[in-house]
Amino acid sequence: MLHVFVVDDQNTNRKLLAKLAGSLRPAVRVHEFASPLQALDAAATAAPDLVVTDYVMPEMTGAELVRALRAIPECIELPVIVVTAYGDREYRYDALAAGATDFLLSPVDHAEFKARAGNLLVLRRQQRIIRRRAALLEARLSSRTRLQEEELRHSEEKLRLVVNTVPAMVSAIDPQGRCVYINNRQGVFFGVDPEIAAGQPLDRVFDADYAQRHQALNATILQERSGIQDIEERLADTHGREHVFLTTKAPLYSVNDSISSIVTISVDITERKELESSLWNQAHYDALTGLPNRSLLHDRLTHALTRVHREHALLGVFYVDLDGFKDINDAYGHSVGDQVLRASAERLGQRVRAADTLARLGGDELVAVVEGMRSADEADTFASKLLDALRDPLPAAGLRFQLRASIGIALSYDGQESPESILSQADAALYDAKAQGGNQWAYYTPALTARAQRRIQLEGALRHALDQDLAQLGLAVQPIRTLEGDVLGHEALVRWEHPVDGWVPPHEFLAVAESTGLMSELGRLMLTAATQWAMREDAGRIAVNVSPEELAAQGFTATCLGILERTGLPPQRLELEITEGGLMRQDEATLHRLDSLRRRGVSIAIDDFGTGYSSLQYIKALPVDRLKIDRSFIAGLAGDADNRAIVAAALTVAQHFGLEVVAEGVESAADAEALAQIGVREMQGFHCGRPTLVARFSELL
């Protein structure tokens, strides 16, 4: 049985490597060592067949352990794999210079480990077979009797038979550079007859490049009297196909301790190298766009920051987000969205130099890393080029899509930032660019970090409130009145009292909920609390805002009807408010869900009407009952002829389609009087009554 030493001072890593080694086939015996010194003592007593060691250990490094092992005669040709979490090339060079056979990065890919370790053990086993046979052959040659010579010939024939069945190319070359033997596999690969090759100089059997390379390697072995481990060679077969071989060379000694021949074993590892390349690409490149992924971006950004620190150049990180991409996914499906994303990445990639990096972090988020800029003006120019790249419509799935982008820019002047921190800075700047309306870029400033941290803190606190402390959330209601002051109903509003910060402005925490996927849960709780309160207080119609995220959920209709059934509120007393822009983005399935609710008695209102640019034809097709004219047209209505005309036009449209109208944001008696003159009968705003906190969610749910 073959023996494998696993050396690592970290218990978890050692156990994992031992488990991987133990899964090799055929079975091996695994010996674990927390101390490299203990491993050396054990190797001096009985040399193993393979050593797998960590690089960084308290007593000595992996490279030092390799050197110490090579000092043990029985371990000179022992295969050693060094494992480390450090990706620096210096560690790799140090380990390989010390005599390490192979080098793996941690965390270790299981399939790669098994492939590498398995190949080395195969080579080790083959070396032992060949050496045992060769030793037997040389022992028999020392006998001068005919019987011994006959037995020697039989042994040689057996050795040739064994060598010809080995899945590797095997050859023996004498010290003068003549072929003693090549096995059938090597003969077939190079198109050489093994019988004719015997006794011929190396350069007459193989091509000049192969012959010169191996003559030089053999000369080194003759001089140093030691083998050479694991040389990777690229060789072409008789059909011109390139293969990758892992080659090992070892001297064979005669009875007088002189080198009689040099045995070369070459194992075809082409499939393994292709698998390694495929695995590396999968680990470092995005499957959809072919761009570097987050892992490779981190590596390149690390090196770029190092160069900035050394060369005092300017580095720019451009965090790009495609505005409106989610709407494309929602409206046309992810297959079309993927095509749009690929086309966008290709367009943007055309504006990035080969020396720079464009990577995809996930979703519609891309990051460009640009080195060697001389000033912030160049950053402006580059950001402008990125926006220009998307100016022309993108073709996808037989359609053309007009995209815009928001860009957050973080600059490094000295390379002191970490990859994580400069990406975080660019992300904060991106959020600022989107908050300003998108289709523009914004630079990072320290104030943005505070905002980003505030958003993260609010998200965590809001999750806690939703999951564990509903008493923080409150239901406020604002009356909807007639011109005469009669209460027709109320609009339900959510309020949040943070345990430390106090009352959080609604626009602040609602934006966090929308961007983090919490809106569906918050909306469900809000709808339940509002209907429960309306039923308890017999408060007439209750209007509840619904987000596009909630509308798009397939189970939205069932959720609404289930809440009404549990609270006992008649559907006719519930009104769902959807913003004009949010309603325009919905697909046919969503509109069907709204129509289904409407047929059951629930009324539908378009909130913030006048801000979404919807067409009259579109309004006609929508399943709605009421238009709520946006407050931007109501404020100062008495003195604004243009807004009065807009409100009058909206009223005419609503009446034509048989819709009710509510004016939002009525804050003065003058505005109320102006609405009355136009003919609007329902209104809402501070003039009609301010929002009033009526209950905590914990009391209603």
CA gap 212, 354 in Å, rounded: 37
Phi-psi region of 542 (alpha: psi -120 to 50; beta: other; left: phi over 0): beta
Q: What is the pLDDT of residues 134-150, one digit of tens each?
A: 778 776 766 554 555 56
Q: What is the DSSP letter of 659?
A: -
CA gap 415, 428 in Å, rounded: 19
Asked whether residue 418 carries a pLDDT value surpassing 90, the answer given is yes
The first and second tokens of residue 561, run together, are: 């009807």
Asked whether residue 87 carries a pLDDT value surpassing 70, the answer given is no
Segment 226-233 long-range contacts (CB within 8 Å, at least 24 positions apart): 226/76, 226/77, 226/251, 227/76, 227/77, 227/251, 229/77, 229/79, 229/99, 229/101, 230/79, 230/101, 230/102, 230/120, 230/123, 232/269, 233/266
CATH architecture label of 458-700: Alpha-Beta Barrel (3.20)
Asked whether residue 614 carries a pLDDT value surpassing 60, the answer given is no
CA gap 290, 358 in Å, rounded: 10
CA gap 323, 430 in Å, rounded: 11
Q: Where in the chain is the domain with CATH 3.20.20.450?
A: 458-700
What CATH number should be reported for the domain whose range is 144-274?
Answer: 3.30.450.20
CA distances from 615 to 551, 562, 610 (A): 21, 34, 10
- Among residues 5, 27, 37, 9, the alpha carbon closest in space to that of 18 is found at 5
Q: Where in the chain is the domain with CATH 3.30.450.20?
A: 144-274
Banded model confidence at residue 650, pLDDT cuts 50, 70, 90 = confident
Average pLDDT value for residue range 562-586: 87
Q: What is the DSSP string of 232-245?
A: EEEEE-TTS-EEEE
Q: Where in the chain is the domain with CATH 3.40.50.2300?
A: 2-108
Note whether 607 and 626 are within 8 A (CB): no
Place of tokens 């001389």: 374
Contacts of 578 by beta carbon, 8 Å cutoff, 6+ apart: 545, 546, 548, 551, 594, 604, 605, 606, 607
CA gap 391, 372 in Å, rounded: 26
Instruction: Name the CATH topology of 285-444.
Output: Alpha-Beta Plaits (3.30.70)
CA gap 541, 535 in Å, rounded: 10
Beta strands in 205-295 (DSSP E): 228-236, 242-253, 259-268
Question: What pLDDT sits at residue 222?
Answer: 93
Strand partners, 7: 33, 53
Question: What pLDDT sits at residue 699?
Answer: 86
Note whether 179 and 197 are within 8 A (CB): yes
**Strands lying side by side in the sheet with 441-443:** 357-362, 365-373, 314-323, 404-412, 441-443
Q: What phi, psi does 633 have (nearest 5°)? A: -95, -10
Q: How many CB atoms lie within 10 A of CB 217?
A: 17
CATH architecture label of 2-108: 3-Layer(aba) Sandwich (3.40)
Asked whether residue 447 carries a pLDDT value surpassing 80, the answer given is no
Mean pLDDT of the chain: 88
Q: What is the pLDDT of residues 349-403, one digit of tens each?
A: 999 999 999 999 988 999 999 998 888 889 999 999 999 999 898 888 888 888 8
Average pLDDT value for residue range 594-616: 81
CA gap 449, 321 in Å, rounded: 18
Residues in the chain: 701
Note whether 104 and 83 are within 8 A (CB): yes
Highest mean pLDDT among 327-336, 603-612, 647-656: 647-656
Note whether 5 and 48 are within 8 A (CB): yes
Asked whether residue 157 carries a pLDDT value surpassing 70, the answer given is no
Q: Where in the chain is the domain with CATH 3.30.70.270?
A: 285-444
CA gap 567, 536 in Å, rounded: 9
Note whether 493 and 533 are within 8 A (CB): no
Q: Report the SS3 class of residue 595.
A: helix
The first and second tokens of residue 369, run together, are: 């890393």
Place of tokens 């329902």: 682
Question: What pLDDT sits at residue 350?
Answer: 94
- Longest CA–CA span in the chain (Å) reads 131
Q: How many CB atoms lie within 10 A of CB 661?
A: 24
Place of tokens 């005469």: 484
- Among residues 312, 307, 444, 314, the alpha carbon closest in space to that of 374 is found at 314
pTM for the predicted model, two decimal places: 0.49
Asked whether residue 152 carries a pLDDT value surpassing 50, the answer given is no
Q: By CB neighbour count within 10 A (0-12 exposed, 13-18 middle, 19+ buried), where does 2 fall?
A: middle
What percentage of the chain has pLDDT greater than the value 70? 94
CA gap 56, 58 in Å, rounded: 7
